[in-house]
Amino acid sequence: MAGIEEQPPVDDSAKQREWDEYYMKIACLAALRSKDPRTPVGACIVDSENEQIVGIGYNSMPKDENFTWKGTSSTKKTSSLDPQENAANPELKYAYVVHAAVNAILNKTKESIKGCTLYTTLHPDDDCARAIVTAGIKKVVYCMYKRDKNLEVGMKIADVFFDIKGVKLRKLPEASLKVCEYVKELQNRIDVGGKNKSSEEQSGEEEPSVDRKIEPASWEKFFMSMAKLSQERPGDFKNKAVGACIASPDNQIMAVTYSGEPDGIEDEVKRLAKERHDLTLTKIPEFYTHAEYRAIVGKPSVRGYTLYVTSYPCNVCAKVIVESGIKEVVHYKNGDWNDDRCYSSRKILTTCLGPSNIRKYGNGDSINESQDEASRSIAIEEPGHT
């Protein structure tokens, strides 16, 4: 079964476009964590071998700290004419900002990302290109979520750099993405930032960051949004789609996965079953793997991390969660709450992790499972259940 791929190698295929759209939406969601008042940018790195996300980033100041800067260029007339000069000027934003592509590379979840594909909401510039080439990334897919669609000098330099180093660069038209809340919110932020910039230029004012602070979504909302967005990935089992996201204590995304069969092998299993044994399979639950299971088993260690999942885990996943060392579980909905598998999983999770570490997410806040633990503990200890 080696060599089976989840998506076809043809770039202009319908399935490839679906995957491109999915990964670009992940990048758009990542951009919403940026505090940049003008051009929030997001990036997503994908392993070409198994189509798993192995890095997510957004443009930010180092460690998300607040640095004071006066503008984006030394003079409005010479804006972006000398990217190296702008990047070194301590009064400008570029001297402090960590670009989204660089951020994603530095936050990679595997030792090597050679041969991977980078999705970014903005054309990379020369700073991004250095990191991309050094990391061994071989493909870059980009959109131009920016009011000015023209390539800046640094972006043109990156084009030349990519051509010399054999990095394939491909533009994904923004119009090809189906509108979702994350794409819409990103475009709205860019439009609002552009209008503010125009009014400042007319009044002759500078661009002080302290006067226009952007408050990104909370970390918890961001992580759960990643889990929910992963439900939209192309493929089978859309009617039962569950998404999961694992975050480290320092808010690094370690995994974004979805329910489905390992490496998308359902079609191949059906074909070989028919070819070798004349079996016609309509469903093959043996190969169905839950989102949280995939997220945990696919990583070297998740001890002390938090799991965000769109539906309450079943008993099989609960055992994996506990044994892996996951510290906390936040679920979006109860799922099959009264099913026997959820009944036993509730007992496993509350016993091993503690009721305070199992929380239901809702309206931007999480509801602690210990709030109604008294009534639930009675049900769990009902005679006839173990």
What digits encode the pLDDT tens for the residues 188-224?
Answer: 888 886 565 554 444 433 343 434 566 788 899 999 9
CB-based contact 78:71 (threshold 8 Å): no
Distance CA 73, CA 160 (A): 24
Q: Which residues of 77-95 are buried (b: 16+ CB within 10 A; e: fewer)?
A: eeebeebeebbebeebbbe
76-80, 137-141, 280-284, 338-342: least confidently modelled range: 76-80
381 has pLDDT over 60? no
What digits encode the pLDDT tens for the residues 81-130?
Answer: 455 555 544 456 567 788 999 999 999 999 999 999 999 999 999 999 99
Q: Please tell me the predicted confidence (pLDDT) of residue 149.
A: 77
Distance CA 230, CA 238 (A): 11
Average pLDDT over residues 310-328: 94
25 has pLDDT over 70? yes
379 has pLDDT over 70? no
Distance CA 220, CA 225 (A): 8
* Pair of tokens at residue 275: 């070819």
134 has pLDDT over 70? yes
40-49, 145-154, 277-286, 287-296: least confidently modelled range: 277-286
Distance CA 386, CA 16 (A): 47
30 has pLDDT over 80? yes
The structure's pTM equals 0.78
Q: Which residues contact 254 (CB under 8 A, 6 or more apart)?
A: 109, 246, 247, 248, 295, 299, 302, 305
7 has pLDDT over 70? no
Q: How far is CA 179 from the centre of its chain?
A: 17
Please, what is the angle between helix 153-165 and helix 126-135, to 10°? 20
Residue type, 192: V
Average pLDDT over residues 169-185: 86
